[in-house]
Amino acid sequence: MASFAPAIKIGAQMVEQLLIHKDINKKEAKEISINMLQRVGIADAEKRFNQYAFELSGGMRQRAMIAMALSTMPKLLLADEPTTALDVTIQAQVINLIKDIIKEYQMGVIFITHDLGVIAQVADEVAVMYLGSILEKGPVNKILKNPKHPYTKGLLQALPDVNNLDEPLRPIPGNIPSPLDRPSGCVFRTRCPNASHECSQGMAEMGLIEVEPGHWVDKCCINCG
């Protein structure tokens, strides 16, 4: 939301980074920028190209930043919560745009999000993280359909059931510890429903074990059953 310089027009910032990264002139950079603004669902893109960030709504600024990031066609895109604050229609457009560009330009994406619905649509491989540690990783279908770690299970159980909207949500118990006061041993032990004596005393060691081909789970979880 605050990534654009407030005193410089959106278009000037998009053109500048294209000139730095690609061997093109200003006219070509402008054409690429306006086309990318259109592709992320911004209406009247040429007008928006000549506006300042404060003249755009929050969602529009977010889409403009995504357009700016994608316009150079990087080999690897780090997308940190790129669909936050977008309505579902624009969110779908952005996801489809990223998927199209991945296919067209053979680009890799590390997609960081808390939205499991988005994960199901965009990811090939998933790594579930807690306090900076990977607790479970593998192909998206295995992680979502056959989760092994209690944290992954908790995330999925906390989602509302569209077939039974009256059923109460099941949040993960406890609170996330401060990163400045990380639990010793297994970082999830203070919230784990299956914690053993070794876990609760902070004596367990973390590390991933392959429980089935391509599906890795933290070994502390395996030891606790």
Asked whether the beta carbons of 30 and 87 are under 8 A apart, the reply is: no
Residue with tokens 């790129």, as numbered in its chain: 82
Amino acid 200: pLDDT: 79
Q: From first to last of the 225 residues of the chain, give the pLDDT tens digit.
A: 678 999 999 999 999 999 999 999 999 999 999 999 998 888 899 999 999 999 998 778 888 988 898 888 888 989 888 887 777 887 887 788 788 878 887 889 999 998 888 888 889 999 999 999 999 999 999 999 999 999 999 999 888 888 888 888 888 888 999 988 888 889 999 998 888 888 878 888 889 999 999 999 998 887 776
Q: Which residue has the tokens 């296919």?
A: 103
Q: Whose structure tokens read 């099941």?
A: 170
Residue 1's pLDDT is what? 65
Most distant CA pair in the chain: distance in Å?
67
Q: What's the pLDDT at 5? A: 93
Question: In this predicted structure, what is the pLDDT of residue 145?
Answer: 92
Burial 108-121 (b: 16+ CB within 10 A, else e): ebebebeebebbeb
Question: What burial letters (b/e) apply to 186-215, b meaning 16+ CB within 10 Å?
Answer: bbbbbbbeebbebbeeeebebebeebeeeb
Q: Measure the CA angle with vertex 82, ends 93 and 139; round to 5°.
A: 85
The answer, as to whether pTM is greater than 0.75, is yes
